[in-house]
Chain A
Amino acid sequence: MADETKQKKSISEEITRKDFLKTAGVVGGGVAVSVAAVTAARLSPPPETPTGADTIRDIPEFKSVQVSEESDVLIRMQAELKKALAKPVEERKWKMVIDTRKCVGCHACTVACIAENKLPPGVVYRPVVEEQMGEYPNTQLRYFPRPCMQCENPSCVSVCPVNATWKRPDGITQIDYDKCIGCRYCLTACPYGARTSDFGEYYTEDTPELQPYETLPNNEYGKSWNREGHNSPMGNARKCHFCLHRLNEGELPMCVTTCIGRANYFGDANDPDSLVTEMARQPNQVKLLEEKGTKPTVIYLL
C-alpha cells in the first residue's frame, strides 16, 4: 500500500520523458508557427493596386498652349505627365527633384498643400525647413521643402500592424485610411517626420462657428473623405502622396504647380527624356538621411 502511494506520488511529481517531449513539441511548434507567420508576412505581396491597361489615362491634349524648349517648366512637366499617364501604372515611376537654390522659402507649397488636401491643424505634408549656415555676420540661408520621400525601402510600411500602408507600383507609398487603426507606429518609424497624425482638430473650433471650408471632404487617393463624426482620416496617420488624386487627372502635384521659384521638378523617372530625369542626373544632388537606408526618391539639388 505504502509502495503504491509512493509510486503514485512520484508519477504525479515526475517529469517523464513523454512529458518532456510533449512540452518540447508544443513549444517547438509554437516557435515554428511564429517563424512561418513572420516569413509569410515578409514574403507576401502588398495589397493589390490595379495595374495593366485599365490604369492607362487618356488626358486631352493642350489646345491653347504650345510646348516648346522655351515653355515654362510647368508646361513641359504637364505635357510629360500626360505621356506618363498613357502607360500602365506599373511602368511609371514618380519622382521629385527640388532645387534648393531656387527655393526662396515662401512656404506657398506648404499652404497650397494644406488647401488642396484640407489639412487640419497639426497635420502638414510639406513643411519648408530652414537651414542656416555659418555664423553671424557671415551667414547664408538655405530652404528645403520636405514632402514624403516616397522611399524605395520605406521603414513606415513594414511596421504597420494591419497592412494599411504599402508601396504602389508607381513608387508612391499609399495609406488606406479605412484600414489604419491610428497606432502611430509608422510615425515613429519615419526618420523624416513625414507622417503626422490627425488628432481631430479644426482651425475654427474655438470660434463662434466652425467654418464650412473645414468640413469639406478631401479627395486623397481619389476618394472622398469626410472627417465629421470621427471618420477617417481623423485618428489616422497622414502624409504626402504627391497629390495622387491630381496626377490621375493629369495635373501636377499642388506644391509643384504653386512654386513661385519653379524649384520643383516632377515627373516619370522611367522616361529618360523627362525634365525630372534630366535634373535627377545632376551631380550636385543629395538625398536626405541616406544613411538610414530608406532610399528616398526625392532628390535635392544644392
Chain B
Amino acid sequence: MLTKTYKYVSRIWLIVFIIGLAGLILKFATGEKLAGYGSYVPWGLWVALYFHFVGISGGVFAIGTLGYVFDLTGFRENFRVILVVSVAAVITGLFSIWLDLGQPFRFARILYAPNFGSMMAFNAWMYSLFIGCAAGLFWLSLKKEKQTDLHDKSRWMLPLMGLAFMFSIAFPSQSGAFFGVVDAKPFWSSPLLPILFLVSAITSGGAVLLLVYTFLHYKEFDLSQQPFKMLRYVIIGGILFYFLAEFAEYSLVFWSPNSHIREAVELILFGPFWWVFWFVHLGGGLIALYVLWKGKTYQTVGTGAFIVAVTFVSARLNVLVPGQAVAELKGLQDAFYHERLRFDYSATLNEYLVALFIGAFGVALVYFGIKLLSYFTQKKLGTSL
C-alpha cells in the first residue's frame, strides 16, 4: 500500500523538481528582475522559506536529541537519519537565502569577516558550527557498539550532542530575535517572536520527522506507539500553543484602541492576503490537528505531518511581510514611484517556481543523503543508516 504512495510521491517530486528547475534557471539568467520584492519590502518568499527550513532543522534535531537521551523507541536506532534530515534542512534554508542575496558570490564574507553584533552573522556561524557538530556526531555514532547505546566508545557523543542541542534551540529562537531587534518595524519588535519562532520550529521539525518515520520506517514501528506517539503529541501541542500565542497577540491589538501594530495585524487578518492566515495557516493547522489526532493509518498521519510542514511557512510569511508592509514614514511610496518602491508585496511566479525547487531540493537532500550514507554505513558497519 505504502509502496504505491511512495511511487506517486516520487512522480510528484520529479514534476515539482523539473518545474522548479526551470524557474531557477530563469532566476540565474535574469538576476533579481523577476522577483517581486523591492526596497520597502526587501524580504519575500525565499526569506520566509529560509527561516522555515532552519526552523525545521533545529526542531528535528532538538526533538531527536530529547528522544535519544530519554531513550524513546525509534530515536537512537535512527539517530543518523535524524542528523541527515536536520543537516539537509539547514542546507536547504541556506540555499534559499543564498538565492536571495544581491551579491550571492560574496556569501563567504559572513564567515570570514563577520560582525557578530549582527544577528545574521551570529546565526550564520551557528549554522556552520551546527553542521560541524552534526558531522562529528555522525562520526562518533559509527563508534558505538550498538545503535541503541547512549554513549560511543570515547563518551564524547553526549557533550557534543549537548552543544548541538544548544545550537538547535538557539538558531530558531534567534530567527525570532533577528526580527525582534529591528526597532524600525513595530510589528517585529516583540519579545514574543523568539518564542513563536522556536515553537513553530519544534512543530514543523516534529512534522518533518513524523513524515520521515511514516515514509521510511513504517515497517519498524507501530503507529500507536513510539516514536509516532511522541511526535504526534509534540506537533499537536505546538500548533495549539502557536494559535494561543497568536490569539493573545492579536486580541490585545484589537482590545487596545491605539495599538501601534494594529495596521500590521489588520493586514494579516483582513488584508489582500487574508486567505494565507485563514485558510493556509488556521485552516491547515486545524485540519492537521484533526488528522494527527484521529489518524489511524500511516498515510493519514503522514498527510497531517505534511500539511504542518508546508503550511507553517505561512506562520513565517505572516511575520515577515506585514512587518515590512507598514510604512513608518507615511507618503514615502507616493514620493517616488517605482515597482520596487512599494509597501505591498506578492510573490511572483518565478519566486513560487524557485520555492518549489527549494522544497524539491530539500527532499532530494534527505533522500539521497540517507541513501548515500546508508551505502557508506553498509560498507563500514554492515547495516544501513
Seen from chain A, the residues whose Cβ lies within 8 Å of a Cβ on chain B are 12-15, 18-19, 22-27, 30-31, 34, 37-38, 40-42, 110, 121-124, 127-131, 146, 155, 158-163, 179-185, 187-193, 195-201, 230, 232, 234-237, 288-289, 292-293
Contacts and interface: CB of A to CB of B under 8 A. Distances in A.
Contacts of B33: 199-201
A230 B39 CA distance: 18
Contact of A146 (B42, B101, B145, B332): B332
Contacts of B182: 155, 159, 188-189
Contacts of B185: 188
Interface string B327-349: 11111101110111100000000
Contacts, number: 206
Given A38-B116, A124-B336, A180-B103, A292 B183 contact: yes
Contact of B102 (A159, A192, A197): A197
Contacts of B107: 181
B159 A163 contact: no
Contact of A27 (B145, B162, B183, B332): B162
14 contacts: A12-B150, A14-B150, A38-B116, A122-B340, A127-B335, A131-B331, A181-B104, A183-B120, A189-B182, A199-B38, A200-B33, A232-B103, A235-B32, A235-B102
Contacts of B31: 199-200, 230, 235
B222 interface: no
Contacts of B341: 122, 124, 196
Top 8 closest pairs, chain A to chain B, by CB: A182-B102, A235-B102, A122-B340, A127-B335, A191-B184, A161-B121, A41-B116, A196-B39
Contacts of A192: 328-329
Given A12-B151, A130-B335, A193-B327, A182 B115 contact: no
B195 interface: no
B379 interface: no
A55 B340 CA distance: 38
A166 B106 CA distance: 19
A160 B118 contact: yes
Contacts of B181: 159
Contacts of B161: 23
Contact of A31 (B151, B166, B328, B330): B166
B253 interface: no
B114 interface: yes
Contacts of B35: 199
Given A23-B159, A41-B115, A161-B118, A130 B39 contact: no
B329 A289 contact: yes
A232 B120 CA distance: 21
Count class of interface residues, chain B: 35 or more
B103 A236 contact: yes
Contacts of A30: 163, 166-167
A191 B121 contact: no
B332 A199 contact: no
B40 interface: yes
Contacts of A195: 39
Contact of A161 (B38, B42, B114, B162): B114
A181 B102 contact: yes
Which of B35, B109, B117, B330 has the most CB atoms of chain A within a 10 A radius of its CB? Answer: B117
B115 A161 contact: yes
Contacts of A289: 328-329
A235 B98 CA distance: 13
A130 to B, nearest CB: 6
B371 interface: no
A196 B97 CA distance: 19
A293 B158 CA distance: 45
A146 B149 CA distance: 64
A15 B162 CA distance: 13
Contact of B149 (A13, A42, A129, A179): A13
A200 B166 contact: no
Contact of B184 (A162, A184, A190, A237): A190
Contacts of B117: 38, 41-42, 158
A200 B119 CA distance: 27
A159 B118 contact: yes
B56 to A, nearest CB: 21
Contacts of B101: 181-183, 235
Given A131-B331, A181-B109, A236-B103, 13 more contacts: A24-B162, A27-B162, A38-B117, A38-B122, A127-B332, A128-B335, A130-B334, A162-B109, A183-B100, A192-B329, A196-B341, A200-B31, A236-B102
B102 A193 contact: no
Contacts of A230: 31
